[in-house]
């Protein structure tokens, strides 16, 4: 009975820190921001003071992403058009497709 009396205070003291360590490990593993003992985010997770050129860098990134987005949108449009042509070729009767090919050859 004396062993159980000693085990209860030890368990009460170790359960809190062990659960906090386990929670921190799970949060870190899954990419959640870490918190300190008071439930606040660590300083490394909080945004720091802004640099004078930070606005310029973010504006440049926005411009690069916008131009890439425009390029990819145009590429998708061209691919959709090619897909429509291929679907039409695959579903149209052979004689109509042959006439259209001959008409294109005559244009040159």
Q: Where are the domains of the chain?
A: 2-107
pTM beyond cutoff 0.75: no
Distance CA 69, CA 67 (A): 5
The per-residue pLDDT for range 1-28, each reduced to its tens digit, is 567 788 888 888 999 889 988 988 888 8
Query: Does pLDDT of 81 surpass 90?
Result: yes
Structure tokens at 92: 């149209």
Distance CA 56, CA 47 (A): 17
Distance CA 34, CA 43 (A): 10
The per-residue pLDDT for range 63-79, each reduced to its tens digit, is 999 999 999 999 999 99
């Amino acid at each position: 009975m004396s062993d159980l009396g000693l085990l209860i205070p030890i368990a009460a003291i170790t359960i809190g820190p062990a659960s906090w360590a386990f929670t921190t490990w799970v949060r870190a593993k899954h990419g959640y921001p870490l918190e300190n003992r008071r439930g606040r985010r660590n300083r490394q997770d909080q945004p720091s003071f802004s640099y004078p050129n930070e606005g310029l860098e973010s504006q440049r990134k926005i411009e690069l992403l916008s131009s890439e987005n425009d390029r990819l949108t145009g590429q998708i449009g061209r691919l959709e058009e090619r897909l429509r042509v291929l679907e039409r070729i695959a579903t149209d009767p052979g004689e109509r497709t042959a006439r259209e090919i001959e008409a294109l050859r005559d244009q040159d």
